[in-house]
Amino acid sequence: MEVLLKPEICTIQEVIQETPDVKTFRLKFKDDSIMDKFTWNPGQFVEFSIIGSGECTFCIASSSTRKGTFDCSIKKAGLITADIHNLLDVGSEIGIRGPYGNWFPFEEIKGQNLLYIGGGIGLAPLRSLIQYTLDNRKDYKDITILYGARTSADMVYKKEIEEWKKMEDVNVILTIDKQEDLWFDNVGVVPKILEEKVHPDLSCTKVITCGPPIMIKYTLMSLDKMGFAPKDVITTLEMRMQCGLGKCGRCNIGSTYVCKDGPVFTYEQMKKLPDEF
Amino acid sequence: MAFSIFHISNDELHKLYEDIIKNNETYAPVEHSGDYKFKKVNSLKECNTDAPIKTTASVKPLFFPQTSAIMHYSEDAKGIKIDDPKEDVLTHKKVILGVKHCDARGMQVLDSVAKWDWQDEDWIKRRENTVIFSTLCVTPENTCFCTSLDYDVKTTDAYDVLVVNDGQKKLLKVCTEKGEQFLEPYTGVLTKLNGEGDAKLKAEFTKFKNAFHLKMDYKEVNAKLQGAFENDGWDFESARCVSCSACAFVCPTCHCFKISDEKVRDKGVRYKSYDSCNQKYFTLMAGGHNPRTQKYRRWRQRGMHKFVYYKERFGVNLCVGCGRCTVKCPVNISIFEVVNNVANNI
């Protein structure tokens, strides 16, 4: 066990200030042979640690189709994330264990329309799958990305969103909660825009969603109203984790280990879990 | 595979124990102001293998220490250096004497979580390298309910060797291959019993079983609890809990842990240590979201994990009925009462 809990050292290659409180860290293992062997599927997570401060769980926000480095987008929210924001810079060394958990069913959703619904920092886990599906574009049909944030300043991956907008085969819908100067896109919360602007073909569309709990709650209600089957809605759950190996018991919901059986669940599976939230 | 049952005189058993202690790293219950603790012993005089009450803490720390280092590290201008471990302490062979069968069963139950998916090598190595001698309790304590659960004290192979009183002699039952191999050098002092051994053991077990104060119908409780997630009994039963976690630390089967870092200047250690679902911070996430803020939610997790979730996942009940949590609880909450009351609160 203790051996499994030992991290490998990574060096920070690049730090991107996405929003006032979100930074993306581009990471690479110090030992190249580990980097070569390191592979992951979209939706999996790693245990990210500042040696001396402690460990936190973050999803990998980039796709394994873009090898060489990997990204973690981190919001300053608690003790360790504050340290991550304040202490780390390009060249800093951190510890990484992983990848852990299951992943988005990228094989099973081949040949389907994909509807991504993200809110705030919730775009990070989706970005991994978005990049993967864009790199394997011919395997998937229409791709729609609906992304909302509180304000335009709170939107992550702004540069990349601009690139997605330019792509002819990707439909990007952006929204913010309240009107701002020089904002020419939609205004309103994600579920509202979803019902107004998205008209999916229910027979062959998969929804992949991630965002704050309150957004997820109302988005699932809207999706229900639109007629989506619970098995076609895929999301990733947030639960405090520590070991990531299905041992420490922290992420238990009922007899489910979120770190091993998840974090990716369909809405159908989620409904069967005890109502802890 | 059937294993043998032997007769051994009390004197010979003492000699056998002495010999074991002399030749192995041995742990046994040692008395301290009326309480018993598992400690390393150098002679039989120091310990009591027939301790009349269970040890304060379970035998768990010998397999899953309260704190154990994951790595030591140091930092300098060149970066972070993780030290290589010096010695593999896990390969040490150990013998534990006087383990109550609830404790032994607890370790067996935890094998399931250690061995699913990722293999907890440390646990597995410690288990493999330890021989457990169990003693059948003469009288159960008021908090014990091991005979009411989903395992049969009579047939369990959670321990390697079982010692049972039989008048002026002792019955010695070998329960595993490890136990058989371990006892091989001592076969000279053992008298093998044939048919009558089983009957004698059975009589002792029946006597033991009938002495129990707490009894419950496990199947019924388990079935009722499966639908008890929304039961308001949890609220009532947990009202006086002070969230101290003493129950989790003395429990043989509580296995939740946390990982912490402690660093002073440029040197530090990362270690894992016990944690408990009774603590509010246990599921607190950065940003303030916490699915178990209320006490009843945390107690529900504790009760349901012990009696429903683990059984659902791994096929065995997590609670082994040792009653330590009840003994150590400062406000006298008994898990036996909690699960029974919730199950019957419809």
Residues 6+ apart with CB under 8 A from A217: none
The amino acid sitting at B235 is D
Interface check for B261 against chain A (CB to CB < 8 A): the answer is yes
- Is ipTM beyond 0.95? no
pLDDT in tens, A228-256: 999 999 999 888 888 889 999 889 999 99
Q: Position of tokens 């390298």?
A: B129
Q: How far is CA A118 from the centre of its chain?
A: 8
Using DSSP's 3-state secondary structure scheme, residue B144 falls into coil
| Candidates A47, A59, A248, A258, partner chain B, best to mutate (most B CBs within 10 A) | A248
Give the pLDDT band of residue B1 (cuts 50, 70, 90): very low
Is the omega angle on the peptide bond into residue A263 within 30 degrees of 0, that is, cis? yes
Interface test with A, best of B64, B71, B275, B293 (most A CBs within 10 A): B71
- Tokens at residue B114, please? 């250690």
Whether the per-residue pLDDT at B34 is higher than 90: the answer is: no
pLDDT, residue B285, reads 87
pLDDT over threshold 80, residue B130? yes
pLDDT at B86: 64
Residues of B in contact with A53 (CB under 8 A): 261, 263
Distance from the B48 Cα atom to the nearest Cα atom in chain A, whole angstroms: 33
| Alpha helices (runs of H) in chain A, residue ranges in sequence order | 32-37, 79-87, 123-135, 158-166, 190-197, 213-226, 258-261, 267-272
d(CA A165, CA A177): 20
B155-202: per-residue pLDDT in tens? Answer: 888 999 999 988 888 888 899 999 999 998 888 888 888 778 888 888
Q: Does B83 touch chain A if contact means CB atoms closer than 8 Å? A: no
User: B295 Cβ partners below 8 Å, 6+ apart?
Assistant: B238, B239, B241, B243
CA-nearest of A113, A140, A277 to A200 is A113
Which A-chain residues 238-267 have CB contacts (< 8 A) with chain B?
238-240, 242-243, 245-250, 252-255, 260
For the stretch A48-71, pLDDT in tens is: 999 888 899 999 999 999 888 999
- The residues near B288 (Cβ < 8 Å, ≥ 6 apart) are none
Q: Is some CB atom of chain B closer than 8 A to the CB atom of A8? A: no
Higher pLDDT, A225 or B188: A225
Contacts of B256 in chain A (CB under 8 A): 248-250
Say yes or no for a CB contact (<8 Å) between A260 and B117. Answer: yes
pLDDT one-digit tens code per residue, B260-317: 999 888 899 999 999 999 999 999 888 788 889 999 999 999 999 999 999 999 999 9
Taking only the tens place, the pLDDT of each residue in A19-53 is: 999 999 999 999 999 999 999 999 999 999 998 88
Q: Give the separation between CA B3 and CA A273, rounded to whole angstroms.
A: 44
Instruction: Give contacts of A8 with chain B, Cβ < 8 Å.
Output: none
Our measurement of the distance from residue B14's CA atom to the centroid of its chain's CA atoms, rounded to an integer in Å, reads 25
Coil/strand/helix, residue B308: helix
Could you tell me which of A86, A114, A95, A4 has the C-alpha nearest to residue A55? A95
Partners of A238 on chain B (C-beta within 8 Å) are: 285, 289
| pLDDT of amino acid A144 | 94
pLDDT of the residue at B342: 93
pLDDT band, very low/low/confident/very high, at B81 (cuts 50, 70, 90)? confident
Helix %, strand %, coil % for chain A, to 5? 30, 30, 40
Tokens of B117: 């998916």
CA angle B327, B331, B333 (to 5 degrees): 65
- By CA distance, what is B67's nearest residue in A? A2
Q: Which two tokens stand for residue B71?
A: 């790595």
- Predicted confidence at residue B87, as pLDDT, reads 64
The one-letter amino acid code at B2 reads A
Give buried/exposed letters for A227-252 (b at 16+ CB in 10 A, else e). Answer: ebeeebbbbbbbbbbbbbbbbbbbbb
Taking CA–CA distances from B314, the nearest residue in chain A reads: A255
Distance from CA of A170 to the nearest CA of B (A): 32
pLDDT > 90? residue A86: yes
Task: Give the C-alpha separation, B285 to A251, whole Å.
Answer: 11
**Region A174-178: what's the mean pLDDT?**
93
- Which residue type is seen at B103? D
Let me know how long chain A is.
277
pLDDT for position A207: 95
- The residues pairing with A266 across neighbouring beta strands, listed in sequence order, are A234
**Do A52 and B261 lie within an 8 Å CB cutoff?**
yes
Torsion-angle region of A238 (φ positive above 0: left; ψ -120 to 50: alpha; else: beta): beta
Count of C-beta atoms within a 10 Å radius of residue A89: 9
Q: What pLDDT score was predicted for residue A116?
A: 95
Reading the block at residue B64, the tokens are 């899953």
- How many residues make up chain B in this entry? 346
Give the C-alpha separation, A9 to A172, whole Å: 37
Q: How many A-B residue pairs are in contact by the CB < 8 A criterion?
A: 125
Say whether A77 and B287 touch across the interface (CB within 8 A): yes
Given CB atoms, is A20 within the 8 Å cutoff of chain B? no
Query: What are the chain A neighbours of B312 within 8 Å (beta carbons)?
Result: 254-255
Q: Which residues contact A138 (CB under 8 A, 6 or more apart)?
A: none
**Residue B170 neighbours by CB under 8 Å, 6+ apart:** B7, B8, B9, B10, B13, B163, B164
CB B342 within 8 A of CB B303: yes
Chain B residues 91-120 with a CB less than 8 Å from chain A: 113-114, 116-118, 120
B291/A239 touch (CB, cutoff 8 Å), yes or no = yes
Give the tokens for residue B324.
């330590």
Cβ-nearest to B286 among A77, A243, A260: A77
Helix (H) or strand (E) holding B14: helix B10-23
In the stretch 10-29 of chain B, residues with CB closer than 8 A to chain A read none
Q: Is A136 helix (H, G, I), strand (E, B) or coil?
A: coil
Task: Give me the torsion for CA of A232, A235, A241, A244, rounded to 10°.
Answer: 50
**What mean pLDDT is predicted for residues B7-29?**
92
Average pLDDT, chain B: 89
The tokens 């264990």 sit on which residue?
A97
Is A63 part of the contact surface with chain B (CB cutoff 8 Å)? no
Q: Is the pLDDT higher at A92 or at B90?
A: A92
CB of A91 within 8 Å of a chain B CB? The answer is no
φ, ψ for residue A114, nearest 5 deg = -115, 130
Task: Indicate left, alpha or beta for B53 from its phi (over 0: left) and psi (-120 to 50: alpha).
Answer: beta
DSSP string over A51-86 = TTTEEEEEE--S-TTSTT-EEEEEE--SHHHHHHHH
Give me the percent of chain B exceeding a pLDDT of 70: 98
Looking up tokens 């992951």 gives: A40
Beta bridge partners of A59: A45
| Secondary structure of residue B57 in the 3-state scheme | coil
